[in-house]
Amino acid sequence: MTEQEEWITSRDNVPIYTKTWKTVKSPIATIVFVHGFGENIKRYDYVFSRFSKMNIEVYAYDQRGNGETALRNKNPGITGGFEVLTGDVTDALVAKRKPGIPQFLMGHSEIVFNYACVGPEKDNLCGYIICSPFFQQGDKTKKPAFLTFTVVALSKVIPNLTIPVNLDPKYLSHDPEIVKSYVEDPLNNGVGSLETHMATVPKFLVNNKKYEDITLPIYFSHGSEDHITSPTASKEIFEKITVNDKTYREWKGLYHELHNEYEKDQVIDEYIKWIIDHVANKTTN
């Protein structure tokens, strides 16, 4: 396994930090991975080193306003909004597609569900994995209704105004070392622009029943004790998805970052198994 770090230039000339966890042999599948709110892809080294050992190649990038990308562009929390974020996912999928090799889109918390509903390449994949999906804030982060209304109103006037994310790191993982590492990591900025908040909350997609347009296999995983994103809302949306090949995996007692819990190897093993099973299905069909 080798790790490759690279700076690329987006379609609108923004430098974006990327990382690829390459396989030794020819990959059986490729993944484009989209990280969660206010974090960075270096936090996934352990996860994707495991993927690469199973001949699954993973490509990820620090989204605009996040991680190394935000540091270089001096714009923490500013992403450009829904269309820009969607465009970056599309560009990554097209650029990293390998002929004859199944490609998956995977993400933590946000963005990937949105893409599965309306993304331009949404039907040209093998499937989706969404970890701790964000449909509604959890019980420890939920904002009062008047604040949500304020964000909606102001996002149309001052979209690049950044505000702190109401996230208590102790609810990321039961492992105190993970919490400590998250807090001390300078690449986790903990802010988001008003436009970003609007782009990552998929209410308009849900309200318009865009989940009915999901056509590919989809896998949700969520901790039953996730206090950052609501597992109850996650289950409700999952039940409304009409595609036949869908899986909801609830992890009893776990927090938001399943891949950083003490049970992380079990979580990762199930992701890998789901991918391998769907590679086999695609090969035989």
Contacts of 204 (CB under 8 A, 6+ apart): none
Burial of 112 (0-12, 13-18, 19+ CB in 10 A): buried
The tens digit of pLDDT for each residue in 237-280 reads 999 999 999 999 999 999 999 999 999 999 999 999 999 999 99
Least confident window among 8-22, 48-62, 152-166, 224-238: 152-166
The band of 151, judged by pLDDT with boundaries at 50, 70 and 90, is low
Which pLDDT belongs to residue 233?
A: 94
The band of 146, judged by pLDDT with boundaries at 50, 70 and 90, is very low
Structure tokens at 45: 């080294």
Give the CATH number of the domain where residue 200 resides.
3.40.50.1820
The CA distances from residue 215 to 34, 108, 129, 212, in Å, are: 20, 20, 14, 8
Question: Is the confidence at residue 121, as pLDDT, over 50?
Answer: yes
CB 29 within 8 A of CB 275: yes
Question: Is the confidence at residue 48, as pLDDT, over 50?
Answer: yes
Burial of 158 (0-12, 13-18, 19+ CB in 10 A): exposed
Which pLDDT belongs to residue 275?
A: 99
The band of 140, judged by pLDDT with boundaries at 50, 70 and 90, is confident
The band of 143, judged by pLDDT with boundaries at 50, 70 and 90, is low
Closest CA to 8 of 88, 65, 71, 79: 88
Paired strand residues for 103: 30
**Strands, sheet with 56-61, edge to edge from the N-terminal-most edge strand:** 2-9, 15-22, 56-61, 29-34, 103-108, 127-131, 218-223, 246-251
Question: Is the confidence at residue 215, as pLDDT, over 70?
Answer: yes
Of residues 283 and 170, more confidence is placed in: 170
Contacts of 48 (CB under 8 A, 6+ apart): 21, 33, 58, 60
Structure tokens at 123: 């039907």
Q: Is 56 helix (H, G, I), strand (E, B) or coil?
A: strand
**Average pLDDT of the segment spanning 123-145:** 87
Closest CA to 38 of 10, 16, 7, 70: 70
Burial of 54 (0-12, 13-18, 19+ CB in 10 A): middle
Number of domains in the chain: 1
C-alpha–C-alpha distance, residues 66 and 111, integer Å? 14
Question: Is the confidence at residue 283, as pLDDT, over 80?
Answer: no
Parent domain of 169: 2-284
CB 189 within 8 A of CB 72: no
Which pLDDT belongs to residue 95?
A: 98
